[in-house]
Amino acid sequence: MNRRDFVTTTSLAAAAVALPAAAHADTMTTPPAATNPMTTTTTDLPRATRKILIAGGGFRTKFIGYMAQLTGKTRPRVCFLPTASADSTEASLAFYASCAPLNVVPFVQNSFIESLSQTQGWDEVLLSMDAIVVSGGNTLNQQAIWKAQGIDVVLREAWNRGIVLGGASAGSLCWFEEGTTDSRPKALSIVKCMGFLKGSHSPHYDAEAGRRPLYHKLIGRGEMQPGYACDNDAGIYFEDNDVKRVVATRAGAKCYYVSQTAGNVTERVLEPEML
C-alpha cells in the first residue's frame, strides 16, 4: 500500500485543549470454517464483537467517553477521521477538545495527503486503534474518497476486529446501507453507504425540518428501506446489527425505528438512557 500512505496528526493536541469545542457539520458473511479440523487457522478463532456507536448529531465528550468504555481498554487509542469535513482543522481541534477530559490517547487521520511525508498505510494506523470516530460533513464526498483510497476496506476490517466505530451525521450515515443526506445541491436526497449496518438511517431528525417528512415519504413509498432515525444528542449502540443500548446527552432527545406496512409508516420511539 505504498501509494496509500497517510499522516497521523498529533501536533494540534496542545492547542486544542485551550479551545472550546466547535460545532460539527453534518453483508458480511462469516468466513467458512477450516476444511481440515486438525489445522488451526484464523477462521477457527472466535470472531470479535463488532461495535458501532452512532448519534444523530453532537458526538462530543460524553459519546466519545462511552465509546472509550466500549473498547474495554484503560487508556484507549481513539482516532478521528475527518474526511467528510475535508480534513477541517476546526473539526480536528474540536475533537481534541472533546477528548481533553477523557483518559484516551487521541489521534487525527487526514485523508487529503501526499506520499512524500506519509510513512504508514491506512491499515497500519487504523488497525492499531481501539476506536475510530468519523466526522460530520459531506457523506457523498466521504464515500467517494474512502472508496478511491481503499479506506472503506480497512474500516470493514477494523469493524471485524472489534475496533469500536462511530460518529454523528456523516459519521453515522456512513455505516448503513443508505440514508438521507444534504450532500447534494438544492435538496435532501438519498446516499448509498458501506452497509455494515443493515437498512437506512436519518440523522438530525429533530434539528432539520426536512428530515422527518422525507424519511417517512421514502420509506412509505418503498424507495428506502426501514431504519433508524436519531435526534441530535441521541444515539444507538449496535453489536453486529443488534441494538444493544439507546443513549442521549440531552433530555428530550430520542431515537426511532421507522418502517411501513402496506404504505402506512410507523415510527416507534426508542427511549434512551442518559449518558
Active-site entry in 88, 135, 169, 183 = 169
Q: Is 201 a catalytic residue?
A: no
Give dist(CA 99, CA 182) in Å, integer. Answer: 28
**Chain centroid to CA 113: how far?**
21
Instruction: Say if residues 215 and 201 touch (Cβ distance below 8 Å).
Output: no
Specify the 3-state DSSP secondary structure of 193: coil
Give dist(CA 1, CA 11) in Å, integer. Answer: 25
Q: Is 202 a catalytic residue?
A: no
**Pick from 220, 31, 26: which is nearest to 138 by CA?**
26
**What phi and psi values does residue 164 have, to the nearest 5 degrees?**
-75, 125
**Pick from 201, 210, 121: which is nearest to 166 by CA?**
201
Cα-only R_g, the chain: 19
**Chain centroid to CA 54: how far?**
6
Beta-ladder partners of 192:
178
Q: Cite the active site residues.
A: 169, 204
